[in-house]
Structure 1
Amino acid sequence: MFWVYILYSVSINQFYKGQTNNLGNRVLRHNSEFEKATKSGIPWILVWSALKSDRSSATVLERKLKNLTRNRLIDFMKKYSEGVAGPDEFLLLEKLSGC
């Protein structure tokens, strides 16, 4: 099983999309300066995630997410709200979308 996830950094106002087989560990790594690509945005908030049955389908979804504009990414997360991490994260998405 593989997770596709979306993180958000308040400090740099950006989303990060990725996939992993260990979501908890991956989020910790993003927030502990181990990952060069996300070091500048610490702290990262897990906003959305979805579990996929295999790496191939996780990679396909990750690529689709990485090709979305910011507004379309927010719309995607709101549409598939069962993947939103919690009520605070949903409110964050509402705020970011201008609602």
Structure 2
Amino acid sequence: MVTLGHFLLLSGLLMAIGLYGVLTRRNLIAVLMSVEILLNAAALAFASVAAFRDPSLFAGQVFALFIIVVAAAELSIGFAILLNVYRTHGAVTDDAISEMRG
């Protein structure tokens, strides 16, 4: 039987993978994908804790849905910025972003 501990372990593993990706990647598209993994790990944790505590309340699921909506908005804005960086610099690295500061 799958318990709450299994879901929290999976959420922790996803959190570690996302954090590793954010800290080690220089390609900003990979960093955005790692941030999405971090947000999905948080959504999984909220939804699983809420489902195991009281299945009749949907607060955790609503909060997880809110996280997914915010993540989608963040991803679309991030990709628009990265597309603009790629068009001006020809690369999508953190050095290209540093050059934009002036």
TM over 0.5: no
The structure that has the greater radius of gyration is 2
Greater fraction strand: 1
Compute the TM-score of the two structures, normalised by the length of structure 1.
Answer: 0.28
Compute the TM-score of the two structures, normalised by the length of structure 2.
Answer: 0.28
